[in-house]
Amino acid sequence: MRKKIITSVGLLLCAFLVIAATIKKSSSGAPASHTGAPGEETCATSGCHDDGKINSGTAKVELTFGNNETAFVPGHTYPVKVKISDPNVTRFGFQILALESKNSTEQGTFQITDSVRTQIVKNAYKLQDRKYVTYTFNGTDAVKTGEGEWIVNWTAPKEAKKPITFYVGAVSANDDMSDKGDKVYTKSFTINNKNL
């Protein structure tokens, strides 16, 4: 009898750990290649957060480059801030990528400045040459009710002759432990080389 109880408790504990790992995994960063950039899907078209149209909710997505600059100096590093605002929402997500506007090759290098809220991910299956910044599990928490915000550094390439576009995919989540009823947004921002 005692062996049966221990086995049952062990099975219940294993089941709990699998469920907990699944819940954490589902909000530990957006899968790579979901910014809506050329050749990519968004979270609204890939099978998660897919019960609504893109950019159909009430949220506002902002991307701030440096000190509201519209051009970059090759080799210089700039803070890049992604902010999403949606009244009364307490859980958000995002993913960002920088590509040359003409040929869609990755440009520059992102550096994590807050490893508690952000991380870099890669796609193991397609577009393997691209690196993305996305949220961590803790990074889904609003910085205050109605606002999600993440800041990373981006170093411009030393030799960039064409405009560079930042692509952002963002989610405003209803925090019901599912991917239904959430809203997906996309935004892009293009900057030019200041020296050209």
Q: Where are the domains of the chain?
A: 30-193
- Over residues 122-172, the pLDDT tens digits come to 987 788 889 999 999 999 999 999 999 999 999 999 988 899 999 999 999
Q: Per-residue pLDDT tens for 66-118?
A: 999 999 999 999 999 999 999 989 999 999 999 998 888 999 999 999 999 99
CA distance 125 to 97: 17
Are 148 and 61 spatial neighbours (Cβ–Cβ below 8 Å)? no
CA distance 3 to 11: 12
What residue type is 56 in one-letter code? S
Neighbours of 56 (CB within 10 A): 11
**How far apart are alpha carbons 54 and 91 in whole angstroms?**
18
The C-alpha atoms of residue 128 and residue 14 are separated, in whole angstroms, by 34
Q: Which CATH number is 30-193 given? A: 2.60.40.4060
Q: Which of 12-26, 53-67, 72-86, 174-188 has the lowest mean pLDDT?
A: 12-26
pTM listed for this prediction: 0.80
